[in-house]
Amino acid sequence: MSIIVETLDLGGDGPRVMVKDTIDVAGSATRASSPALQDAPLADQHAEVVRLLLKAGARLTGKVGLHELAFGTTGINHHTGTAANPRFPGRIPGGSSSGSAAAVAMGLADFSLGTDTGGSVRVPAACCGVFGFKPTFGRVSRVGVMPTHTSLDCVGPFAASLPMLVRAMSMIDPTFVPAQVPGSVRIGVLRVTAEAAIQKVLHATLAASGLALGNVELQHFGAAYDAGMAVINRETFAACGHLLETGKVGADIAGRLAAAGQTSDAALAEAELVRERFTAEVDQALASFDVLALPTLPDFPLRLEDAADTRAVLGMTSLVRPFNLSGHPALSIPLGSEAGLPVGLQLVAAKGADEKLLAIAERLLLNVQRGEV
């Protein structure tokens, strides 16, 4: 059960940090946990986020594994091994940033970095019971991060606490200035399809927060999921399709990657129209509410033995993928449940309002904690 794929010791005496093996570290090969990249050359310079971490005094202690080529949601990897879910044994760690979430859940890192193209930070954060944040698209540098070209992917941090997540953002984004906890907050509760037990936890938490609540329905939410799939398929095939020629891509990923190559120009054009409509719809909702709230996952994390077919479990991303398409910042907050399984509360804010989103999350959690005392 592999979490760390390469041990490192770089930087100062600040927080211990591990990074997903799609992020370049000078002197190390970026292999994306794929046998097709086993002979990848050593990176000649750090990714910009790594440079910023080291400049801020972080201690980089390792690179961690992932769902092969960052093209899957479960975290299962038959090449490097699947990272164990430390807090919920026998359950999937989530993907694709499985090692990044598991490292924090196990206490191997104070925070870690993953990437989120279709939920790949928020899904494993929810599965492993930690915080995971997808910043506004384009806000955190992706220079030196695989893939080079994307309209969806964001580098984002995992942490076991919200203050550490805020510290991580301060280190990887020079423009990030932590915000004051706002005095009044209005939350739009998004109507979505999810397991009743998860909805129960979510609504109880929001009610206990004492914050003003209202209902929101996004007409293009389902279409945005489908459009996000079309875009990720086209962009991932453009970045990794050539690796199929090696014959070394894992069978589950090879099949999905080959299918991704069939994404038509017409499907991509339609996806871009949906992106425009859905983004405008979310922006409009956020003109009335400070944040939108919904579950991170529609169901509890699967057992490992029930998650073998990558394509069959893509529905795990039904509630996260739309916000990759629109580019809005989104946070997954870990909650518990009567079943003893993890639930993620997802909060979404206006583009560029990353600081405000994290401050609202702090206010919400403080209110809930006070109510429990």
Q: Report the greatest alpha carbon distance in the chain.
A: 59
Residue 240's H or E segment, with its range, is helix 221-240
Catalytic center residues? 20, 96, 120
CA atoms within 13 A of residue 241's CA, in its CB half-sphere:
13
Are the CB atoms for 93 and 58 separated by under 8 Å?
A: no
Give the span between the Cα atoms of 346 and 336, in whole angstroms. Answer: 14
3-state secondary structure of 247: coil
Tokens 């209202």 belong to which residue?
214
Single-letter code of the amino acid located at 304: L
> Could you tell me the strand order of the sheet in which 4-11 lies?
4-11, 59-64, 16-20, 111-116, 154-159, 131-134, 330-335, 343-348, 291-295, 186-190, 212-216
3-state secondary structure of 278: helix
